[in-house]
Chain A
Amino acid sequence: MKSVLPLSTVLAALFVLWYGFAVWMNSPLQRDLFANAGNTAYSSSDLAVAALNMERPKLPAPHQVAGELYHLIIATAPDSKRSLVYHASITLQETLIGFFFGSLFGIGLAVAIVFVRPLERSLMPWIVASQTVPIIALAPMIVVILNQFDIGGMTPKAVIAAYLSFFPITVGMVKGLRSPDPLQLDLMRTYSATSSQMLFKLRTPSSLPFFFASMKIGAAAALVGAVIAEVTKSEDGGLGARLLAGSYYGQTVQIWAALFTAAALSGALVGAIGLVGRLTLRKMAFPT
């Protein structure tokens, strides 16, 4: 709670900075607009006010973005194609489907790696290496390949979301499943526990802190994947499609509104997982 004051100070400073930058970046354009309109008798405060309320500013002012958000979220019907709720729900569905399958696959892979020793030595370097590969570059490819099989709509985007989210989950879960103390593992062995008992009674519970940490990263990655996939195949809508449309038509306010919606979505997802994680870990008496 003691970070409320510093945090709000920083946010307020950012707000002021944003307005300053908006005036600074938009004034040259606005000056041209005034000149074109034959308006030469304007004061610098006129210029500043006009620069903060332009139709297509270089950097929209916060109140413009807020206005656009209000307009597109609350004032527009949620099933309209212009509504951000409509596009956000598309993105959210793709993210959640992708995230679900991505985490299933990621956890499965982690369990396999922990149980089958040779798998680790042959697979793990590839998993680590593939993290350094820009998987996002594959997104347009996956969309095309799945299109050949007449798989369209949400599936390609969910596949990309799953693809991006499973890596952090695998890496985190391998670490988590390995986290029990050697002493505890030995104790289980003296009980002559089978390896599946070991998995469910010892490894799974002690992997939970890692589980929630990697779920948070995985969810954020899945959302990034969904948004990027929407950019490469924008006919079906979604926040990525709004970003692309905004950049085509120079609608900066629209880009910023889509960006803030994506950020809010990501924040809500990560926050929800974090909350469930904190409650669960507290209940299980992990130090949080």
Chain B
Amino acid sequence: MNANRLADLGPPLLFGIVVLALWEAISRIAGVPAIILPAPSAIGLRIVTSVPTLAADFVQTMRGMVSGYLIGNAAGLIVAILIDRSPFLQRGLLPLGNLVSALPIIGVAPIMVMWFGFDWQSKAAVVVIMTFFPMLVNAAVGLSGAGAMERDLMKTYGASYEQTLSKLRLPAALPFVFNALKINTTLAMIGAIVAEFFGTPIVGMGFRISTEVGHLSIDMVWATIAVAAVTGSAFYALIALIERRATFWHASYRAR
């Protein structure tokens, strides 16, 4: 199993190394100016030399992102459970949720900055709004996903609403909930970083990107992007790992 996992990593890893090597080679041989596209080695050097700045930016952005992610997802899940008992509310809220999920919600960023100030609270608010609706819609679909047979079985056991919810329907909704959690990792990163374009105290990854572009220190921009990329992937991987642990019974994992 473990050897297999490692073998799976081989081709993509090789591909990544080849791309990086090509990038390095082209920028050296063709002499691409660093202002347009710095070589990977230059970006790496920049990362090593500006660890304190990158770390401060990281902490600042994470504050807004993680708190927003937690609040938004929790709120979405709770509202989904609350409206679950009322088909009326469901029919009213879910089409709206689907619609809102397709809207450029990121546009509320300037409004949130105006309401909650320049610090991380406004970023958290943007992330809350962005993550709420995907979670609401997914969790609502998941909660209605338990089969009729299982529900009937619970009924014959004389299970109360709460028991059915906690023993059958919430576990059955988990794959959908995790789907939303995974979608939301990306949305939360985007929300937290873009909200910083509209105003921050002078720290944060989005702030760094927008100001360093202005100063034309492109290697610093790429260094920040690299940090953001690693963070986003790690965040996604973490959720995927928890998902594997929590929904080990689901068909998509059993099959392997």
Contacts and interface: CB of A to CB of B under 8 A. Distances in A.
Interface of A: 2-3, 6-7, 9-11, 25, 58, 118, 121-126, 129, 131-134, 136-138, 140-141, 143-145, 148, 216-217, 220, 223-224, 227-228, 231-232, 239-240, 243-244, 246-247, 250, 252, 255-256, 258-259, 262-263, 266-267, 270
Nearest to B10: A121
A266 B102 contact: yes
- Chain B at the A interface: SS class: helix
Interface in B1-25: 8, 11-12, 14-16
Contacts of B190: 134, 136-137
Contacts of A124: 12
Contact of A252 (B33, B111, B222, B232): B111
B104 A224 contact: yes
Closest 9 CB pairs of A and B: A247-B110, A6-B92, A10-B92, A122-B15, A125-B12, A6-B91, A132-B236, A132-B232, A122-B11
- B110, B225, B229: which has the most chain A beta carbons within 10 Å? B110
B210 A140 contact: yes
Given A132-B232, A138-B225, A262 B103 contact: yes
B221 interface: yes
A56 to B, nearest CB: 10
B186 interface: yes
19 contacts: A3-B92, A6-B88, A6-B92, A7-B95, A58-B114, A129-B236, A134-B228, A136-B106, A137-B190, A137-B209, A137-B228, A144-B213, A144-B216, A144-B218, A148-B33, A217-B102, A224-B104, A240-B107, A247-B199
Contact of B91 (A2, A126, A145, A217): A2
A7 B92 contact: yes
Given A10-B96, A223-B104, A267-B102, A255 B91 contact: no
Given A243-B107, A255-B111, A137 B225 contact: yes
Contacts of A262: 103-104, 107
Interface in B201-223: 205-206, 209-210, 213, 216, 218, 221-222
B35 interface: yes
Interface of B: 8, 11-12, 14-16, 33, 35-37, 88-93, 95-96, 99, 102-104, 106-108, 110-111, 113-115, 185-186, 189-190, 193-194, 197-199, 205-206, 209-210, 213, 216, 218, 221-222, 224-225, 228-229, 232-233, 235-236
Given A58-B115, A227-B104, A250-B114, A133 B213 contact: no
The majority secondary structure among interface residues of chain A is helix
Nearest to A120: B11
B143 to A, nearest CB: 17
A224 B235 CA distance: 23
A134 B197 contact: no
Contact of B205 (A125, A137, A143, A267): A137
B158 to A, nearest CB: 31
A270 B102 contact: yes
A121 B209 contact: no
Given A10-B96, A134-B232, 4 more contacts: A137-B194, A137-B206, A220-B104, A262-B104
